[in-house]
């Protein structure tokens, strides 16, 4: 059975009306998933069964209702690895690829041996770093058992189970090891702003992965409190952030005694991460330079 060009055009028109950016590409991805075809772009004049077309229609309606494409397909590509996208688990976002890429740059000359990923979710950060650094190993911690199960599946999918351990826990509270690198993409939306998120996040990402507390920086306070305990002396912490809370997050770490604080900037000089060294006793010169930098912004 051939898919009618009129039906396909109707889907494309509906996608455009819903402001879906790449109607042709997304429809083709959904059709490949519905038909079980991997790889190349599908010729829309190919014959498809009624079952395939029915499955396509169901997925199209999900997409029109705001479900992200990778949630419908159940798989996404992130930093050169494939990851399963599971229900009730925070899905990997392209912005976090910037965090991973910058981390790799920062450790270009001396990759860390042991990595701690706090609030690991799908495991995307830890697994992508281990994929890049074959001599490294690490632990991912999450308070949600569903997320831990998803991260374990993703480790198996990428043959990284020998180097990645995922553990249920409340951030770093129960760890008795210190790491060379501590990394995290914490929840960072103020509770009152959750209703204003885009539908893909608001309706399909778990609230626990979004809600940063009353002021949006609850988990940065936890990171600042626990960092010196879980990081080796001199080790680096790199934490994703949103520009809105930049100065508040800087102050949280500064007030905890950290003086080697830096901001990582991305496209159009937009801040996307904060780096903190586990050093609390810098020289006077470093202290004054950091103080001036912090409060002159």
Q: Give residue-wise pLDDT tens across range 135-186.
A: 999 999 999 999 999 999 999 999 999 999 999 999 999 999 999 999 999 9
What is the span of the domain harbouring residue 24?
5-65
The span from the CA of 186 to the CA of 212, in Å, is: 8
Q: Looking at residue 3, what DSSP letter applies?
A: P
126 with 269, same domain: the answer is: yes
56 with 141, same domain: the answer is: no
59 with 113, same domain: the answer is: no
Q: Is 66 exposed, middle or buried (0-12, 13-18, 19+ CB in 10 A)?
A: middle
State the CATH number of the domain containing residue 213: 3.40.50.150
What domain count does the chain have? 2
Please indicate, yes or no, if residue 80 is contained in any of the structural domains. no
Please indicate, yes or no, if residue 78 is contained in any of the structural domains. no
pLDDT of residue 7: 81
- Tell which wins on pLDDT, 132 or 294: 132
Considering only CA atoms, give the Rg of the chain.
22
Q: Where are the beta strands (DSSP E) in the chain?
A: 75-78, 81-84, 114-118, 137-142, 164-168, 179-184, 231-240, 261-265, 271-277
* Predicted model pTM: 0.90
């Amino acid at each position: 059975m051939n898919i009618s060009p009129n039906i396909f055009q109707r889907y494309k028109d509906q996608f455009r009306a819903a402001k879906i950016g790449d109607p042709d590409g997304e429809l083709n991805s959904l059709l490949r998933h519905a038909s079980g075809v991997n790889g190349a772009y599908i010729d829309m004049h190919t014959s498809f069964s009624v079952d395939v077309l029915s499955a396509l229609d169901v997925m199209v309606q999900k997409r029109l209702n705001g479900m992200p494409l990778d949630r419908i397909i159940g798989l996404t590509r992130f930093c050169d690895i494939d990851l399963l996208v599971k229900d009730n688990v925070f899905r990997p976002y392209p912005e976090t690829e910037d965090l991973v890429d910058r981390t790799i740059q920062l450790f270009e000359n001396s990759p860390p041996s042991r990595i701690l990923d706090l609030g690991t979710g799908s495991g995307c950060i830890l697994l992508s770093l281990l994929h890049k650094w074959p001599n490294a190993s690490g632990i991912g911690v999450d308070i949600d058992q569903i997320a831990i199960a998803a991260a374990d599946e993703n480790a198996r999918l990428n043959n990284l189970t020998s180097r990645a351990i995922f553990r249920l826990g409340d951030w770093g509270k129960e760890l008795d090891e210190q790491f060379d690198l501590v990394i995290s993409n914490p929840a960072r939306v103020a509770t009152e702003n959750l209703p204003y998120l885009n539908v893909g996040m608001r309706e399909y990402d778990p609230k626990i992965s979004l809600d940063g507390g009353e002021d949006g920086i609850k988990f940065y306070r936890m990171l600042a409190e626990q960092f010196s305990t879980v990081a080796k002396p001199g080790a680096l912490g790199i934490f994703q952030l949103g520009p809105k809370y930049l100065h508040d997050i800087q102050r949280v770490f500064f007030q905890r005694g950290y003086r080697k604080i830096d901001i990582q900037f991305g496209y159009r000089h937009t801040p996307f991460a904060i780096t903190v060294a586990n050093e609390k006793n810098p020289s006077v010169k470093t202290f004054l330079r950091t103080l001036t930098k912090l409060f002159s912004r």
